[in-house]
Amino acid sequence: MTRPLVSAVAALIVALSSAPAAAETAGPDDSGTGGLDYPRGGEGPEGSEVAFTFQDPRIAESSGIAPSGVHEDVWWTHNDSGDFLPDVYAVNGDGETLATVSLAVELRDWEAVTVAQDPEGRSSVYVGDIGDNYGGSWPSVRVLRFAEPEPLADALIEPQVFTLTYADGGRDAEAMMIDPRDGRLYVVSKEFSGGLYAAPETLDPEAENVLERVDSAPLFVTDAAFHPDGTRYAIRTYWGVTVYDSTNGVPGPALGSFDLPESDQGEAIAFSPDGTALMAGTEGANAPVWSVPLADEYLSEESVPTPQESASAEDDADTDAEAVGGGGGALPFILGGAAVAALLIGGIVLLARRG
């Protein structure tokens, strides 16, 4: 979204929020958000702190952020529309760029990024080319997918491209998320009366994938993300975030809303790999990424292993399998010896009877 429009919208929201009627109705609302009516930004919850700052001057309009599913303490991000290359950046916990993945496609209006397993079970990066500063004039939008590289290194990749259309007409959107439980993709439109849209259960690269509206959404949504176990999802605006309970599916009831740390143009949100905090990013050169701890009422009841812990568990499982396999390797010889012994005993008995 362009800065002049952002400023105008912010001024409008502030003006509306300062009216006496609005002051009288501040607090929990009946709009389905389950918390404050459209948080307007501030210091954020207690314990909020800057986790890192982007060091790469090429990352000037970070419009999305997502934790790697393979590499510990690595985050994927990209620039918004504008005079940028179609690059996705892998950044470490100090904000340093570790790798630049260039995609062999046009950068039209990249607005979101998320990481999830593809149908083959590979951890993959999904980039949402879903923005439309012309109010939904594009007949379709796109999602780009590529497998996470291992090891991390600069690369040129031709991603798989999925075409998406809206069942109820074109929309501007900046938010995309994928349910880790079933791989279903969701897009949240950015409007006065925004909506949560669900893609087909499986994306088809050879056809148009129709997005169906399944729920309403807060005002001017700029990003969204699922908890690592899928039982929560968060939808953010420029000023705040609403957390939903998706234990029983999507859409889920809102658990509440709260302010995010004030930023120039907050357009990125992601859960931390362990699911205990939200990572909130903003556009701008050397922009900070905030770690915002989640209150108990927003936490999932399940503990989530980090990629490093998952890899360690897989190594342990492989070691156990090899140990079992080693015992299994001797089993055929044992069974073979028993069979030979049985034949010998049977032959002796038969000869004895004939004698």
Average pLDDT over residues 176-189: 98
| Sequence-ordered strand ranges (E) for 104-239 | 112-117, 123-129, 141-147, 155-157, 160-166, 173-178, 185-189, 195-198, 208-216, 221-226, 232-237
pLDDT at 87: 97
223-278: per-residue pLDDT in tens?
999 999 999 999 999 999 999 999 999 999 999 999 999 888 899 999 999 999 99
Mean pLDDT, the chain, as a whole number?
A: 82
270-279: per-residue pLDDT in tens?
999 999 999 9
Residue tagged 């990629």 (tokens): 307
Average pLDDT over residues 151-162: 97
pLDDT at 136: 77
Nearest to 127 by CA among 94, 89, 91: 89
Q: Which pTM does this prediction carry?
A: 0.77
Reported confidence tier of residue 180, pLDDT bands at 50, 70, 90:
very high
Could you give the count of Cα atoms lying within 13 Å of 30 in the half-sphere of its Cβ? 1
Residues 355, 349: Cα–Cα separation, whole Å: 10
The full 3-state SS of 147-163, as one line of letters, equals: ECCCCCCCEEECCEEEE
Sign of the Cα torsion 227, 48, 190, 218 reads positive
Residues 109, 136: Cα–Cα separation, whole Å: 12
Q: Which distant-in-sequence residues (6+ apart) come within 8 Å of 327 by Cβ?
A: none
- Assess whether pLDDT exceeds 50 at residue 327: no
- Assess whether pLDDT exceeds 90 at residue 301: no
pLDDT at 7: 45
16-49: per-residue pLDDT in tens?
333 333 333 233 333 344 444 445 557 789 999 9
Average pLDDT over residues 183-201: 95
121-138: per-residue pLDDT in tens?
999 999 999 999 887 788
Reported confidence tier of residue 82, pLDDT bands at 50, 70, 90:
confident
Q: Which two tokens stand for residue 199?
A: 């893609």
pLDDT at 291: 98
pLDDT at 38: 46
Residues 262, 246: Cα–Cα separation, whole Å: 27
pLDDT at 304: 56
Rounded to whole angstroms, what are the CA distances from 5 to 111, 134, 188, 195, 290?
A: 16, 12, 19, 20, 24
Residues 209, 115: Cα–Cα separation, whole Å: 19
